[in-house]
Amino acid sequence: MPAIATSAGPLVDATGVTFRLPDEHHRLTAVRLYLRAGIPADQLELKFRRGTWSLRIVRTHVDRIEYLLEVQHPHGGRETITDPTNALRVPGAFGDKSVIEFPEYQRPGWLEQSTVQASLTDLAIPSSNLGSTIRAVLWTCAQLGPDEPAPLLIVHDGPEFASLANMTDYAGALVESGRLPPLRMALLAPGDRNRWYAVNPAYARALTAEVVDALNVHAPATVRIGVGASLGGLAMLHAHRLAPATFDGLFLQSGSFFTPDLDGQERRFPRFGPIIRFIGELGQSVASARPVPVTMTCGNEEENLANNRRMAATLANLGHPTALHEVRDVHNYTAWRDALHPHLTDLIRTVVDSHAP
């Protein structure tokens, strides 16, 4: 396949990308790529030649690459920027990134489909466990009456999932097309994310008691499915272990299931100790008090893949019907968005059907 020039600088072909940053007067002293695509850090320096910084990288097992450029100025100043030669951008939790899409990459078809009408309700749930307020947005299909029970998705990092992973568009399109029943979603804001989500018993109690009690008033549920990515996925699993009756299914994406032997690079994370103790205890458990279906997704070039594979095996051994789907991307909201259908769709239908009267 011939190289494809994107709308600006990078040259993309089936086997890799050549990044090019013009610098006619050599005003920069160094340029390197900042990305996560299974490429060693010592292979990300661009080389200067004839007025252009350039680097060829060989494609790993991904269909798209999100990246930034770190540039160094003559007096030692550094800045991290999007690629000025590439107009293709993607929003993220920490700002926009430039993106490369290989020819095989396809956006989800549901992004172009019509969506069901829905209402949004802001909720502020006081938590004595946390000494704080958990904020949420309740998304409700318009055809549901206020007191009509329906499936409920409880989503960690909910506002980010809505804005960066098109979560409400996904649910609206799948309900409108009849592939999902009318449902509600509680999009929980993360608050003090690193403290709340990283195996915090106070947060687990707040979620499974105070949040669920409030949602029982505003969103009566036939079934509840917990959704979370990264630390948010870890927090959902931790909550389920402490209060097994809360959720009827779990959808966990790129979960931060750290272990000492697989994730030594995370040792400086303040909650590393509680995480590895919880994961270790889970691995030594004999059975789950209430096994529920668990669907997992993880990028096949991300650091969490090994611990997600191990967690999938652990959950299966504990009696959970478990499926891990490895996707051709890394740890980002677009990857999590692209995996919603069919994987979350299938989980919702499985859980709903298993609880049908």
What span, in angstroms and rounded, lies between the C-alpha atoms of 246 and 290? Answer: 10
Average pLDDT over residues 5-11: 61
pLDDT tens digit sequence for 324-336: 999 999 999 999 9
**Residue 341, pLDDT score:** 98
pLDDT tens digit sequence for 171-221: 999 999 999 999 999 999 999 999 999 999 999 999 999 999 999 999 999
**Residue 7, pLDDT score:** 37
All residues at 6 or more sequence positions from 293 whose CB lies less than 8 Å from its CB, including other chains: 248, 249, 250, 320, 321, 322, 347, 350, 351, 354
DSSP H stretches of helix in the chain: 158-164, 167-176, 193-197, 201-205, 212-218, 231-242, 272-284, 305-317, 333-338, 345-354
Under the banding of pLDDT at 50, 70 and 90, the label for residue 1 is very low
Under the banding of pLDDT at 50, 70 and 90, the label for residue 261 is very high
**Residue 154, pLDDT score:** 98
Report whether 320 contacts 294 (CB < 8 A). Answer: yes
User: Is pLDDT above 90 for 4?
Assistant: no
User: Is pLDDT above 50 for 36?
Assistant: yes
Average pLDDT over residues 241-257: 98
Under the banding of pLDDT at 50, 70 and 90, the label for residue 147 is very high
Partners of residue 44 on adjacent β-strands: none
The CA-to-CA distance between both ends of the chain, in Å, stands at 54
- Quote the radius of gyration of the chain (alpha carbons, Å): 22
The single-letter DSSP state of residue 111 is: G
Higher pLDDT, 194 or 2: 194
**Residue 37, pLDDT score:** 78
User: Is pLDDT above 70 for 250?
Assistant: yes
Measured on CA atoms in the order 80, 337, 343, 354, is the torsion positive or negative?
Answer: positive
**Residue 168, pLDDT score:** 98
Cα 219 to chain center, whole Å? Answer: 24
Report whether 219 contacts 183 (CB < 8 A). Answer: no
Q: Are strands 249-253 and 11-13 parallel, antiparallel or unpaired?
A: unpaired
Q: Are strands 16-22 and 47-49 parallel, antiparallel or unpaired?
A: unpaired
Under the banding of pLDDT at 50, 70 and 90, the label for residue 321 is very high
- Could you give the dihedral angle defined by the CA atoms of residues 306, 308, 313 and 316, in that order, rounded to the nearest 10 degrees? -170
Q: Which amino acid is at 150?
A: A
What span, in angstroms and rounded, lies between the C-alpha atoms of 143 and 295? Answer: 28
User: Is pLDDT above 50 for 307?
Assistant: yes
Mean pLDDT across the chain, nearest whole number? Answer: 95
What span, in angstroms and rounded, lies between the C-alpha atoms of 241 and 204? Answer: 9
What span, in angstroms and rounded, lies between the C-alpha atoms of 257 and 220? Answer: 31
User: Is pLDDT above 50 for 94?
Assistant: yes
**Residue 5, pLDDT score:** 39
Under the banding of pLDDT at 50, 70 and 90, the label for residue 299 is very high
